[in-house]
Structure 1
């Protein structure tokens, strides 16, 4: 339990690092300072593109590293410290001019997410290799979801926190909030390096070149299916969820930022609360029926939740949407957890086929796909506001055409439902069942018991 909790604490840092950036860019620079949302979309996306490209490099570097402290832990420490130092700088642009903010956010965003890569890729790889048991891996990797979700209770409140009058403005508010988050990130991010233990036998394996590692990884059919389903859903949901704050402020409350950000915070906390139940439900089903059936059940709940928003997003009953939010939370978080845990089973299959422990490169390619998804979603989110003719200044002044807000709701609801259905379709082809995973474990255990014979 000590190792489980220590490793899981890193998920709290992960949540704050990744989502703290996304949660504050538009509230600070678009809603607060009226910076062009299309430029902000690109400023959010370019660091993610750069970050995604560095993921495979970091993964292979970690797999090939040999130190007295292991392959993962030195990078976890270095990455977490650099991230904490860079976070407040994101909000210190020298002026609110569109292009000044664009270049500032782009440059410091690249450095910030590079530091994040140095932390997150070795951190995820460490989790994959702490156990090789099919069900124990599920139980171990459920804990980061429990701990990481702690941040999700107050993450939706960040736009509200930075509006606090005592800060003197959204920019200074974002800086102070970032400093507070940095303290939590530092403590929680260092714990995995202290208590995490790697699989010792991997230290003596041969090193593999980056291009060869990527080629082997992309030949793995099960991995490609998991990644494709994850990419489709993450890109779509991140694109449309970026619009949720706008829905609450402008569609539900007609431009009242205080009421809209408060409702967004309550909705986010509701989602986080039911996400705990989602993790528990997913863990329970997966240890009895397997990971694929668990994922299908959870995605079905998610689909039902996002579809119901068509009826629950109503200005006359603002809090009715919480029923849909609860249902989405009950399904979605466990689905993300299943996608991640499935990659651990893929690593075992890869060792069976290729004789190598390559958790780093699998984590990296998976991370590459997720970060590219978020990067694309950042562009699409900013562009989506432009395509539906949304203008934050006009909306704040009450001069926005009401039909724009109707389009905002339509895109927000139907877009989410579509990508969840597509993700379920892709998941249908995932080939690793419980029986297949247990067979793989038997083969690997036999090899480890008699390594000379296998060689």
Structure 2
């Protein structure tokens, strides 16, 4: 692949700006859609969890297809960039309608949300998969991909803070269903800004020249499935996405039903994302010093420690809970930088050895797994609410039983802690390092195991 080793700052920022779109869409539905369904439309928690989960499950099937299609796209702008614009605009339009269900009865309103979320999920697949595929083709450098991901995660963290903190404020300032509608339009504009910025910002980015892999999508998926290190990394990331999805779904409930403080949801998001904005470059330097794998393990342990501390939410002062979320944010920054920098390593090793470009298929499988984890998170949290006897309403002003409050704390704290620690069982066996990725016959990055390309061809 005739990709350069080092990218310009403009290309790094331009590529990273796509995280404005992915961050807004990944954050706001996870934060706001379940409360919208249970506390505004009056839909039971289990049914609401199904509505949130189904479109994401559809993406699990669609993402590898989107990756294969983008691999085979022929365009002077490259195989990925046209999809950023096409799918990104469709995503913004769909999101503006997602929270705009007209008053037409509970069943019809639930159907509206389901259909619109399916449309958004479809558009998002064709934006996200090409977007995440690009680093493997933009640079052949093991360390440059970490630097590229540093910009992406920093912008992602900023977007999470912007969207996660302002979406509840907009909703509460207007109030009722109108508040959700205006919030949806505002977030759609944020998504559109990210789409256009990524499209324009990558116009000078290098494009790899490897040929698309031969055979059907099933053949390509079978080859990707044999990549041992990719499977281990993906499993780790999916389990952690499930943990993150649980915490994201629980923020609004924790703020209103446990902390019972006005504006607590916004404070929680600032506590979560503020450290990530500051420490993302620090995690990148940690990775250069000790290796991506060890950095990933360390950041996972920090995230788990913060989640565990949040179990005190019912009895400790709110400041303790906010401090716990700060710790979660510190770990979360690393848990985004490292796996996203390790993913293109696996795809690049495969492309270098075979001369076939399966970056889109790799990324499609990756984003399908991530989507599944993030979708199951709210679903699992909704199940916890149902088991705790959570009471749905149309105005959100219902006293919850103690069992429901306990379920909120467990879903936000203990469950994510256990999942994050469980994920490390797979990560410990991951073996790709700088020597394997750069094609060196010997040597390894600090903190990495011996070079290997087992299972990646």
* Same fold per superposition (TM over 0.5): yes
2:116 is the counterpart of 1:108: yes
Whether contact under 8 Å (2:435, 2:441) holds in the other structure is no
Whether contact under 8 Å (1:13, 1:188) holds in the other structure is yes
Q: Which of 23, 35, 38 does residue 31 from structure 2 map onto? A: 23
Q: Using the alignment, how far apart are the partners of 1:290 and 1:249 within structure 2?
A: 41
Aligned to 2:286: 285
Question: Is the partner of 1:162 in helix, strand or coil?
Answer: helix
Whether contact under 8 Å (1:64, 1:207) holds in the other structure is no
Question: Is the partner of 1:33 in helix, strand or coil?
Answer: coil
Q: Using the alignment, how far apart are the partners of 2:212 and 2:361 within structure 1?
A: 15
Runs of at least 4 residues of structure 1 off by over 6 A? Answer: none
Q: How does 1:26-37 map to 2 (within 5 A)?
A: 26-37=34-45
Aligned to 2:237: 230
Question: Is the partner of 2:209 in helix, strand or coil?
Answer: helix
Q: TM-score, normalised by structure 1?
A: 0.89
Q: Using the alignment, how far apart are the partners of 2:95 and 2:247 within structure 1?
A: 25
Q: Using the alignment, how far apart are the partners of 1:441 and 1:9 within structure 2?
A: 36
Q: Using the alignment, how far apart are the partners of 1:179 and 1:107 within structure 2?
A: 17
Aligned to 2:138: 130
**Number of equivalences:** 432
Whether contact under 8 Å (1:36, 1:98) holds in the other structure is no
Q: Using the alignment, how far apart are the partners of 1:419 and 1:205 within structure 2?
A: 36
Shift of 1:229: 0.6
Aligned to 1:84: 92
Which deviations, in whole Å up to 9, do the C-alpha atoms of 1:196-224 show, x marking residues without a partner? 2242422x556442111111111100110
Q: Which of 242, 254, 258 does residue 251 from structure 1 map onto? A: 258
Q: Which of 170, 191, 201 does residue 195 from structure 1 map onto? A: 201
Which deviations, in whole Å up to 9, do the C-alpha atoms of 1:430-452 show, x marking residues without a partner? 0112333233599xxxxxxxxxx
Q: Using the alignment, how far apart are the partners of 1:394 and 1:190 within structure 2?
A: 37
Shift of 1:93: 2.0
Aligned to 1:220: 227
Q: Using the alignment, how far apart are the partners of 2:243 and 2:158 within structure 1?
A: 24
Q: Using the alignment, how far apart are the partners of 1:114 and 1:325 within structure 2?
A: 32
Shift of 1:230: 0.9
- Compared with structure 1, are the counterparts of its residues 19 and 377 closer, same or farther at alpha carbon in structure 2 (3 Å cutoff)? same
Aligned to 2:379: 379
Aligned to 2:306: 305
Aligned to 1:270: 271
Which deviations, in whole Å up to 9, do the C-alpha atoms of 1:56-88 show, x marking residues without a partner? 111001111112221011111101111111112
2:210 is the counterpart of 1:209: no
Q: Which of 142, 145, 159 does residue 168 from structure 2 map onto? A: 159
- Compared with structure 1, are the counterparts of its residues 281 and 96 closer, same or farther at alpha carbon in structure 2 (3 Å cutoff)? farther
Q: Using the alignment, how far apart are the partners of 1:358 and 1:35 within structure 2?
A: 42
Which deviations, in whole Å up to 9, do the C-alpha atoms of 1:308-333 show, x marking residues without a partner? 1233x245622321111111111112
Aligned to 1:415: 415
Please say which of residues 62-71 and 353-362 is displaced more in the overlay.
353-362
2:297 is the counterpart of 1:296: yes
Q: TM-score, normalised by structure 2?
A: 0.89
Q: How does 1:260-409 map to 2 (within 5 A)?
A: 260=262, 262-311=263-312, 313-314=313-314, 317-393=317-393, 399-409=399-409
Please say which of residues 22-31 and 223-232 is displaced more in the overlay.
22-31
